[in-house]
């Protein structure tokens, strides 16, 4: 083996066999191809191959019914590989554990987009370009001032990213690689600035401009925390922790927000608008918003001695879910959660143990030994411990998901561009199975169509 590089994947699906389907209504048998991706890729059939299955020529043909996309591949992708049963996560073939230990966030962002690790000159240019696009138009400041002091930072983020679209109308040229390039650089560069500005607005603090001498994460921390000091020096353990957390959150294949970005992007809108949609999807408590909910749940539990009662309430369906537990894809320990738990230990060694760590550990122990959670394969996900780290870095609870959004922008953009370059992709437009009324004549129940407001 040595240093020999593996052959790059073809990126195409291979036909590996056929599947025979017998229609009991007609006694006809149809043969559909079985397709497979890379060596570890899953198998699938083309849903369109089912369309030939019908009882008469004027029938529409068979579809698949799959609410919440439980078993439907919406695309082929060469970016992220997850084996949910084994707890494996890789970006472009590289194990997440190795990337978290040895890489930087911007190196990972390059890797996600380009498929290979950058050579030094490529990396230098990438870092330079992102560093020099961190400033946002001054009007963005005025725009943010319009929000109330207690506006949720994710609401502000979502609107601010969407607003960027109006500053860069040329970003609509999504089929021009140069236009895509500058949009991607702008988005990666400006997300930390927008995030930090949202934070400063909610604290009533003046906005801090980017400092081009600092690294991506140092600059972000400077824009968040700098007060009157001429040069901000971030705590190195915070810089390291944030870099690792950004890497862990960079991509996660076809999750809710990434699917949203792909679906919105498939209408050929500009990437700023598509990413704003991703931020909106991430905001939800079942997705990125879970990290915020974990701390709210822990605060509600209040004391380690209340954990058994809380677990009983979750199981009895009386309380909420156990936030930070469970995952659509992972049916074993989320590999990111393992790294985060270790990272939390390192951060707590420096800043002191978070007061709620004991509750979190007790919750984890209780759930991992409880038949309800074991039988449903519910394990801690990435969000279970991230909140405790963020809080020890003095980030407010409602800001946690914003940190997630900054990191995930790298994955959203890589997935968006992959979708645009995929010749098989078209505007995303799922089918439905209509279960409503048949045709019926209109018969209004109104006696007054334009009543005066009372």
DSSP run (H or E) holding 123 = helix 120-131
- Alpha-carbon span 89 to 102, nearest angstrom: 16
- Please list the residues that pair with 17 across neighbouring strands: 34
Closest to ligand ACO by CB, 225 or 322: 322
Helices and strands in the chain, H and E counts = 17, 6
Angstrom distances, CA of residue 333 to CA of 31, 94, 174, 278, 382? 38, 19, 38, 25, 9
DSSP secondary-structure letter at 172?
Answer: G
Q: Which region, judged by CB under 6 A, interacts with ligand ACO, from 49-57, 91-99, 209-217, 376-384? A: 376-384
Each residue 279-318 as x (binds ligand ACO by CB under 6 A) or -, in order, gives -------xxx-x-----------------------x----
Instruction: Find the helix or strand (DSSP H, E) in which 80 lies.
Output: strand 80-83
199: its two tokens? 């934070």
Any catalytic annotation for residue 383? yes
Helices (H), 79-119: 96-102, 105-114
Of 49 and 312, the one with the shorter C-beta distance to ligand ACO is 312
3-state secondary structure of 413: helix
With CA atoms as reference, report the closest residue to 378 among 418, 315, 408, 333.
Answer: 333
What residue is closest to ligand ACO based on CB? Answer: 326
Q: Is the four-CA dihedral 355, 361, 364, 369 of positive or negative sign?
A: negative
Please pick, among 251, 327, 356, 370, the residue that the annotation labels catalytic. Answer: 327
- Judged by CB, which is closer to ligand ACO: 141, or 328? 328
327 annotated active-site: yes
Give the DSSP H/E element, type plus range, for residue 362.
helix 357-368
Closest separation in Å from C-beta 314 to ligand ACO: 5
C-alpha–C-alpha distance, residues 95 and 138, integer Å: 41
Listed ranges 146-154, 203-211, 379-387, 446-454: which one lies at the site for ligand ACO (CB under 6 A): 379-387
Min dist CB 28 to ligand ACO, Å, is: 35
Active-site option among 251, 270, 354, 383? 383
Cross-strand bridge partners of residue 75? none
In whole angstroms, how close is the CB of 400 to ligand ACO at the nearest point? 11
Write the CA distances from 322 to 128, 295, 372, 376, integer angstroms.
43, 11, 12, 13
Is 157 or 322 the residue whose CB approaches ligand ACO more closely?
322
| Pattern 103-142, ligand ACO, x by CB under 6 A | ----------------------------------------
Among residue numbers 313 through 342, which ones bind ligand ACO (CB under 6 A)? 314, 321-328
CA dihedral sign, ordered 122, 128, 134, 137: negative
**Residue 211 falls in the annotated catalytic set:** no
Residue 46 in the binding site for ligand ACO (CB under 6 A): no
> Which among 295, 291, 256 is positioned nearest to 277, based on CA atoms?
256
For residue 277, give every residue at least 6 positions away whose Cβ sits within 8 Å of its Cβ, in sequence order, or none: 260, 261, 263, 264
Indicate the helix (H) or strand (E) that contains 22: strand 14-23
What is the nearest approach in angstroms of ligand ACO to the Cβ of residue 284?
9
Backbone angles phi, psi at 396, to 5 degrees: -70, 155
Residue 382 touches ligand ACO, criterion: CB under 6 A: yes
Size of the site for ligand ACO (CB under 6 A): 19
41 binds ligand ACO (CB under 6 A): no
Q: Does 240 bind ligand ACO (CB under 6 A)?
A: no
**Binds ligand ACO by CB under 6 A, chosen from 165, 254, 258, 381:** 381
The answer to the question of residue 376 lying near ligand ACO (CB under 6 A) is yes
Which of 247, 243, 252, 251 minimizes the C-alpha distance to 97? 247
Residue number, 53 or 378, with CB nearest to ligand ACO: 378
- Least spacing, CB of residue 378 vs ligand ACO, in Å: 5
According to the binding rule CB under 6 A, does residue 378 interact with ligand ACO? yes
Which of 126, 325 has the CB closer to ligand ACO? 325
Q: Judged by CB, which is closer to ligand ACO: 37, or 324?
A: 324
Footprint on this chain of ligand ACO (rule: CB under 6 A)? 255, 286-288, 290, 314, 321-328, 376, 378, 381-383
Q: Which residues are catalytic?
A: 287, 327, 383
């Amino acid at each position: 083996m040595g240093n020999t590089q593996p052959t790059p994947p073809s990126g195409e699906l291979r036909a590996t066999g056929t599947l025979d389907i017998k229609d009991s209504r007609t006694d006809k048998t149809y043969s559909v191809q079985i397709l497979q991706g890379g060596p570890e890729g899953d198998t699938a059939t083309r849903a369109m191959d089912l369309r030939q299955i019908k009882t008469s020529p004027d029938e529409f043909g068979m579809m698949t019914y799959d609410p919440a996309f439980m078993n439907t591949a919406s695309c082929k992708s060469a970016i992220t590989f997850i084996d949910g049963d084994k707890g494996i996560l890789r970006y472009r073939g590289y194990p997440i554990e190795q990337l978290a230990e040895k890489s930087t966030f911007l190196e990972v962002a390059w890797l996600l987009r380009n498929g290979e690790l950058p050579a030094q000159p490529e990396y230098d240019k990438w870092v330079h370009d992102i560093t020099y696009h961190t400033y946002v138009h001054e009007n963005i400041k005025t725009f943010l001032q319009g929000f109330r002091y207690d506006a949720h930072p994710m609401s502000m983020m979502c609107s601010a990213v969407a607003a960027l679209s109006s500053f860069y109308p040329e970003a609509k040229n999504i089929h021009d690689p140069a236009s895509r390039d500058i949009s991607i650089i702008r988005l990666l560069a400006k997300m930390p600035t927008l995030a930090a500005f949202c934070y400063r607005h909610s604290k009533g603090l003046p906005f801090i401009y980017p400092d081009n001498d600092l690294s991506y994460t140092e600059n972000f921390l400077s824009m968040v925390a700098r007060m009157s000091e001429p040069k901000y020096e971030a705590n190195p353990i915070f810089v390291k922790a944030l870099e690792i957390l950004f890497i862990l959150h960079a991509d996660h294949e076809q999750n809710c927000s990434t699917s949203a970005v792909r679906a919105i992007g498939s209408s050929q809108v500009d990437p700023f608008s598509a990413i704003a949609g991703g931020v909106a999807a991430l905001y939800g408590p079942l997705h990125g918003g879970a990290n915020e909910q974990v701390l709210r749940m822990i605060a509600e539990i209040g004391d380690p001695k209340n954990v058994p009662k809380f677990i009983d309430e979750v199981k009895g369906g009386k309380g909420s879910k156990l936030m930070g537990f469970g995952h659509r894809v992972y049916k074993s320990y989320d590999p990111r959660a393992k790294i985060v738990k270790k990272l939390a230990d390192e951060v707590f060694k420096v800043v002191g143990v978070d007061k709620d760590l004991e509750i979190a550990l007790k919750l984890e122990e209780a759930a991992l030994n409880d038949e309800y959670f074991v039988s449903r394969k519910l394990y801690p996900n990435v969000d279970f411990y991230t909140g405790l780290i963020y809080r020890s870095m003095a980030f407010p609870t409602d800001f946690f998901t914003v940190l997630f959004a900054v990191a995930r922008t790298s994955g959203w953009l890589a997935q968006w561009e992959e979708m645009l370059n995929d010749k098989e992709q078209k505007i995303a437009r799922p089918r439905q199975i209509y279960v409503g009324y048949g045709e019926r004549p209109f018969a209004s129940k109104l006696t007054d169509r334009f009543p005066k407001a009372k």
